[in-house]
């Protein structure tokens, strides 16, 4: 172990020196706070390296047991810096900054008061990495600076940041799951011991299915529908229908709940005023007409409407209690004519809802509408600099 510890100390000296040099070479005035955070992290890593050196110098066999967790922490942050933040800053282009300048005020409006900066990387599918939660890395496809049709996905990713910021959200949703299935076990009529055992086994599997990652996903869908309204409901339906596969199928290897459960959660999140809104009714009709596939028996156990109802309600309560500044989407229904009109004062959520209305009702006009939107957004982003 001593030889290994000595080798890691030497290795970290080279790696940390290289990272520090790379940070010094960065020239991004838009990211002063982020670069400051990275320098702070390097200082902390050097302290950890010195602690390893102290352990090596003392040479105590009992003390050496403290070394592996320190090594694990150093390795984690080296990965975060060299695979996440540094390459993102080094490859950042005008298009990345455009989306960053658009999303920063969006995050504030959506209650993410702790977010100080966002590093956008237009080189992958939508995802968020909140290693430093006040400065998340948002990944998005490169075409996102030319089309808005998928931009509603950003609200789902912001939901992940909220879930990470407040540990109690996951705890409250886990409690909902535990209570729901505990009560379900009690709701049973006469049956043989064998059938009772089989039923309890299925219920226990359902409890295990709703682990933290899937609770995070369903919460993030509810959060996105809460702040982006019908446009996110349409996005969720569209996403479910793009790919082949049964929307009711439950995959134990997929961290996401089945598409049908996610669509239902989004629908349940909508304010009652949208029940008879034209775009909502159209999207709902599209979903009902096109959804297909056999409904597996485990879907009705693991993703019953009653359970999704409770998870949705608990998620909304968490949003309202923990992020009271979050603005719920409540704009009255917009017709086609109003949706065609683009106002410079429109927040992104309204723009996306207008886009959904135009796309669904007059698709031949949509490309022209979208070009006009980006001219306006580019102006807005430029003024943010």
Question: For 290-329, how does the pLDDT look when each residue is reduced to its tens digit (9 = 90+)?
Answer: 887 678 889 999 999 999 999 999 999 999 999 999 999 9
Reported as a single tens digit per residue, the pLDDT across 92-128 is 999 999 999 999 999 999 999 999 999 999 998 999 9
Average pLDDT over residues 341-352: 93
Q: State residue 293's pLDDT score.
A: 67
Instruction: Check pLDDT > 50 for residue 383.
Output: no
Work out whether the CA dihedral 166, 167, 170, 175 comes out positive or negative. Answer: negative
DSSP 60: -
Check whether residue 182 and residue 299 sit in a common domain: yes
Check whether residue 70 and residue 170 sit in a common domain: no
- Confidence band for 28, pLDDT divided at 50, 70 and 90: low
Check whether residue 70 and residue 213 sit in a common domain: no
3-class DSSP assignment, residue 326: coil
- Confidence band for 384, pLDDT divided at 50, 70 and 90: very low
Average pLDDT over residues 139-163: 93
Q: State residue 30's pLDDT score.
A: 84
Check whether residue 167 and residue 291 sit in a common domain: yes
Instruction: Check pLDDT > 90 for residue 380.
Output: no
Q: If we measure between CA atoms, which residue out of 210, 117, 222 comes closest to residue 160?
A: 222
Check whether residue 197 and residue 308 sit in a common domain: yes
Check whether residue 59 and residue 194 sit in a common domain: no
Q: Is residue 137 part of a domain?
A: no
Instruction: Give the residue ranges of DSSP H helices in 26-82.
Output: 32-58, 67-80
Q: Is residue 381 part of a domain?
A: no
Final residue in a domain of this structure, among 322, 343, 362: 322
Final residue in a domain of this structure, among 91, 110, 140: 91
Domain extent, residue 31, equals 1-91
Check whether residue 167 and residue 303 sit in a common domain: yes
The proportion of the chain whose per-residue pLDDT surpasses 70, expressed as a percent, equals 98
d(CA 29, CA 38): 14
Q: Is residue 221 part of a domain?
A: yes
Q: How many independent structural domains does the chain possess?
A: 2
Q: Is residue 77 part of a domain?
A: yes
Q: If we measure between CA atoms, which residue out of 291, 290, 277 comes closest to residue 361?
A: 277
This prediction's pTM: 0.93
Check whether residue 184 and residue 316 sit in a common domain: yes
Instruction: Check pLDDT > 90 for residue 164.
Output: yes
Instruction: Give the residue ranges of DSSP H helices in the chain.
Output: 2-25, 32-58, 67-80, 86-91, 94-109, 153-165, 167-186, 193-209, 212-228, 230-242, 259-269, 278-290, 297-302, 305-322, 336-340, 348-361, 366-384
Check whether residue 283 and residue 165 sit in a common domain: yes
Instruction: Check pLDDT > 60 for residue 385.
Output: no
Reported as a single tens digit per residue, the pLDDT across 35-66 is 999 999 999 999 999 999 999 988 777 788 88
Final residue in a domain of this structure, among 279, 296, 322: 322
Reported as a single tens digit per residue, the pLDDT across 251-291 is 999 999 999 999 999 999 999 999 889 889 999 999 998 88
Check whether residue 175 and residue 75 sit in a common domain: no
Q: State residue 147's pLDDT score.
A: 85
Check whether residue 82 and residue 189 sit in a common domain: no
Q: Is residue 23 part of a domain?
A: yes
Q: State residue 333's pLDDT score.
A: 84
Q: State residue 65's pLDDT score.
A: 84
**Rg of the chain, C-alpha, whole Å:** 24
Q: Is residue 31 part of a domain?
A: yes
Reported as a single tens digit per residue, the pLDDT across 189-247 is 777 888 888 889 999 999 999 999 999 999 999 999 999 999 999 999 999 998 878 89
Q: Is residue 373 part of a domain?
A: no
Reported as a single tens digit per residue, the pLDDT across 173-199 is 999 999 999 999 888 777 788 888 888
Most distant CA atoms of the chain, gap in Å: 77
Check whether residue 172 and residue 86 sit in a common domain: no
Q: Is residue 226 part of a domain?
A: yes
């Amino acid at each position: 172990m001593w030889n290994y510890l000595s080798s890691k100390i030497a290795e970290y000296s080279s790696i940390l020196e290289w990272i520090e040099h790379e940070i010094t070479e960065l020239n991004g005035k838009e990211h002063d706070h982020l670069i400051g955070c990275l320098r702070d992290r390097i200082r902390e890593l050097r302290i950890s390296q010195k602690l390893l050196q102290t352990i090596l110098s003392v040479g105590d066999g009992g003390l050496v047991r403290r070394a592996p967790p320190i090594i694990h922490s150093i390795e984690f942050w080296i990965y975060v810096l060299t695979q996440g933040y540094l390459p993102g800053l080094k490859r950042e282009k005008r298009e990345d900054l455009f989306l960053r300048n658009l999303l920063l005020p969006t995050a504030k409006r959506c209650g993410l008061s702790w977010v100080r900066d966002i590093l956008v990387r237009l080189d992958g599918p939508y995802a968020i990495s909140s290693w430093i939660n006040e400065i998340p890395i948002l990944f998005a496809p490169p075409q996102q600076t030319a089309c808005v049709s998928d931009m509603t996905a950003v609200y789902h990713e912001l939901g992940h940041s909220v879930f990470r910021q407040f540990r109690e959200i996951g705890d409250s949703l886990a409690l909902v799951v535990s209570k729901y299935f505990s009560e379900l076990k009690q709701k049973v009529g006469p049956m043989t011991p064998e059938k009772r055992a089989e039923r309890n086994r299925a219920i226990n599997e359902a409890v295990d299915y709703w682990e933290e990652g899937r609770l995070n996903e369903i919460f993030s869908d509810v959060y996105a529908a809460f702040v982006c309204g019908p446009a996110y409901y349409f996005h969720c339906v569209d996403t479910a229908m793009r790919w082949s596969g049964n929307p009711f199928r439950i995959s134990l290897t997929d961290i996401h709940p089945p598409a049908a459960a996610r669509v239902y959660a989004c629908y349940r999140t909508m304010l009652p005023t949208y029940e008879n809104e034209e775009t909502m009714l159209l999207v709902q009709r599209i979903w009902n007409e096109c959804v297909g596939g056999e409904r597996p028996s485990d879907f009705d156990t693991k993703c019953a409407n009653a359970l999704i109802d409770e998870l949705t309600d608990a998620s909304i309560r968490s949003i309202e209690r923990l992020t009271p500044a979050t603005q719920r989407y409540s704009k009255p229904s917009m017709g086609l004519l109003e949706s065609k009109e683009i106002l410079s004062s429109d927040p992104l959520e309204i723009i996306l809802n207008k886009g959904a209305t135009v796309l669904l009702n007059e698709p031949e006009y949509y490309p022209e509408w979208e070009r006009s939107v980006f001219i306006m957004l580019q102006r807005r982003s430029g003024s943010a600099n």
